[in-house]
């Protein structure tokens, strides 16, 4: 199962992706706001093995995200956390070499569209670290609204961590709410 957006392709991970993914996933700056990493070589190998088993089965789905020429830039994930309640969660990662080019927003927007248009989802959620301003901005630009702050949401690297909760509904305006747009 693959997804194509204006500039990007989401495809299943393969073991050869270790070459470009590991330098990203082992970077402590990249993972400073995540609840995983920085990855060891084995962590990335295990991640790729897990991602490969997801295939065409039920969620969660995790994709490698590449540019049109096949260059790997990051990852995308979609998890239908409750099928009866038609609720899904998204996640994304963009490597430092490709940040600031709108790819994070393009990935999040693609995931939201996928959830609504292909999986009949009512509500798409995402969380981020309260200091992760880039991720919060990505979510806002992808059309998610800030709903609140979840206290002690994660136990990350031995410390309790709050998370911001964002969500959008299938009846909300698509394409985001860019408050800075003219």
Ligand X SMILES: CC(C)(COP(=O)(O)OP(=O)(O)OC[C@H]1O[C@@H](n2cnc3c(N)ncnc32)[C@H](O)[C@@H]1OP(=O)(O)O)[C@@H](O)C(=O)NCCC(=O)NCCS
Q: What is the contact surface with ligand X in residues (CB under 6 A)?
A: 30, 33-34, 92-94, 99-105, 128, 132-135, 137-138, 141, 180
Please say which residue, 36 or 160, places its beta carbon nearer to ligand X.
36
Q: How far is the CB of 28 from ligand X (least distance, A)?
A: 11
Written as six digits, the tokens of 104 are 């994070």
Q: How far is the CB of 138 from ligand X (least distance, A)?
A: 5
Q: How far is the CB of 154 from ligand X (least distance, A)?
A: 11
| Separation of alpha carbons 11 and 118, rounded Å | 16
Q: How far is the CB of 164 from ligand X (least distance, A)?
A: 9
Positive or negative: CA dihedral 135, 68, 38, 91 = positive
Among the listed residues 71, 61, 66, 77, the one whose alpha carbon sits nearest the alpha carbon of residue 8? 66
Please say which residue, 7 or 120, places its beta carbon nearer to ligand X.
7
| Separation of alpha carbons 81 and 151, rounded Å | 20
What is the DSSP-derived secondary structure letter of residue 131?
T
Please say which residue, 101 or 146, places its beta carbon nearer to ligand X.
101
Q: What is the CA radius of gyration of the chain?
A: 16
Q: How far is the CB of 84 from ligand X (least distance, A)?
A: 26
What is the DSSP-derived secondary structure letter of residue 38?
S
Please say which residue, 81 or 83, places its beta carbon nearer to ligand X.
81
- CB-based contact 114:124 (threshold 8 Å): no
- CB-based contact 17:64 (threshold 8 Å): yes
Please say which residue, 83 or 151, places its beta carbon nearer to ligand X.
151
């Amino acid at each position: 199962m693959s997804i194509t957006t204006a500039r990007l392709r989401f495809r299943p991970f393969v073991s050869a992706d270790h070459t470009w993914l590991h330098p990203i996933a082992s970077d402590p700056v990249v993972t400073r706001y995540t609840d995983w990493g920085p990855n060891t070589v084995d962590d990335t190998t295990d991640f790729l093995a897990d991602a490969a088993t997801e295939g065409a089965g039920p969620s969660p789905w995790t994709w490698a995200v590449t540019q049109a020429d096949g260059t790997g830039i990051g990852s995308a994930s979609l998890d239908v956390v409750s099928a009866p309640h038609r609720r899904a969660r998204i996640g994304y990662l963009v490597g430092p070499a490709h940040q600031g080019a709108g790819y994070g927003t393009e990935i999040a927007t693609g995931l939201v569209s996928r959830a609504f248009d292909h999986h009949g989802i009512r509500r798409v959620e995402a969380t981020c670290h309260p200091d992760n301003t880039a991720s919060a901005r990505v979510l806002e630009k992808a059309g998610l609204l800030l709903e609140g702050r979840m206290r002690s949401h994660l136990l990350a690297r031995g410390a309790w961590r709050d998370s911001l909760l964002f969500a959008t509904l299938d009846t909300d305006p698509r394409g985001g709410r860019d408050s800075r747009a003219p």
